[in-house]
């Protein structure tokens, strides 16, 4: 299927990227200028910011409560942005949609970003936030039943790494991992996966841009051979939580996500892999207003309800 016409129209109207090295501060500021005012966002029962006091230090989180209840299933969400972009604000609409559709209390994590924070600061924040959320001191009234981790793009990397780290630590409370077009192999050799060639140009995220966009993270000490950096490098995937892996047809990262799902299944993990036709990388963040892509939130709900 060709690229969805509304996505193609949007990409065609984008200005050429500025020449020269990437400027994280300027790029973050630009992202924040396109946000709708709070009063125009999807309404929920409650949305509030909290400082989670964790073993990794104080981590800002935003809590989304879809309805009043005595206890809640929890979904801890990690935003994308190549480890140096993204924020609680830029992905606020994703967290709201997840809360509304799943009925879970969503905890979005404002983890530390590269290059200012060296590896593994961001990963430490994400893992610590999950453990905090499940604790009595969090005040989140976890029901003890559902504790999911989810993320898009580099946030999907963190979700997979957090699930693996929790397993290795004997923290067995994570019940689901939800990975939206995750970056699972930070060795960006263009010959490693066919989709890196097939979707190299013209679909938003380009293969040639993977190295420079991820350089802030890798240069901060993240080793692509480390399974906590490239989760697909993990040799033993058995015992990990059930997974939903969502990929996009026109994404350079498509094949590594689908291979990860296959490897999870081969290791005895219940894994569902869904490829969204006509979509490119980032469609959950940027194009979930298109009905056929908003369905990803319904699919997430159905996956969580299967347990």
**So which residues are the catalytic ones?**
153, 251, 281
Distance CA 134, CA 54 (A): 12
* SS (HEC) of 167-230: HHHCCCCCCEEEEECCCCCCCCCCCCCHHHHHCCCCCCCCHHHHHHHHHHHHCCCCCCCCCCCC
Q: Are 275 and 210 in contact (CB under 8 A)?
A: no
Distance in angstroms (rounded) separating the CA atoms of residues 186 and 56: 24
Is the distance from CB of 180 to CB of 149 less than 8 angstroms?
no
The CA-atom distances, in angstroms, between 238 and each of 148, 163, 242, 274 are 18, 12, 10, 21
If one counts every other C-beta atom within 10 angstroms of the C-beta of residue 208, the result is 13
Neighbours of 117 (CB within 10 A): 17
């Amino acid at each position: 299927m060709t690229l969805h016409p509304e996505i193609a129209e949007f990409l065609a109207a984008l200005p050429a990227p500025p020449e020269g090295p990437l400027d994280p501060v300027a790029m973050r500021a630009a992202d924040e200028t396109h946000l709708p005012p709070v009063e125009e966002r999807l309404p929920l029962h409650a949305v509030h910011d909290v400082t989670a006091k964790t073993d990794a230090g104080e981590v800002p989180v935003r809590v989304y409560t879809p309805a009043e209840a005595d206890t809640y299933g929890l979904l801890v969400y990690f935003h994308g942005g190549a480890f140096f972009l993204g924020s609680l604000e830029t992905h606020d609409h994703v967290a709201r949609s997840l809360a509304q559709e799943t009925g879970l209390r969503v905890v979005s994590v404002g983890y530390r970003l590269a290059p200012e924070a060296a590896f593994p600061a961001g990963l430490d924040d994400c893992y610590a936030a999950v453990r905090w959320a499940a604790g009595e001191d969090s005040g989140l009234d976890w029901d003890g039943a559902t504790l999911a981790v989810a993320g898009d793009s580099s946030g999907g990397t963190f979700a997979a790494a957090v699930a693996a780290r929790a397993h290795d630590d004997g923290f067995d409370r994570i019940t689901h991992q939800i990975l939206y077009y995750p970056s699972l192999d930070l060795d960006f050799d263009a010959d490693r996966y066919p989709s890196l060639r097939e979707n190299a140009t013209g679909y938003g995220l380009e293969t040639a841009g993977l190295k420079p966009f991820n350089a802030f993270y890798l240069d901060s000490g993240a080793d692509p051979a480390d399974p906590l950096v490239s989760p697909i490098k993990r040799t033993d995937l058995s015992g990990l939580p059930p997974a939903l892996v969502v990929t996009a047809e026109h994404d350079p990262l498509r094949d590594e996500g689908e291979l990860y799902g296959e490897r999870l299944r081969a290791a005895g993990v219940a894994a569902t892999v869904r490829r969204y036709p006509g979509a490119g990388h980032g469609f959950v963040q940027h194009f979930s207003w298109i009905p056929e892509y908003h369905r990803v939130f319904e699919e997430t709900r159905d996956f969580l309800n299967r347990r």
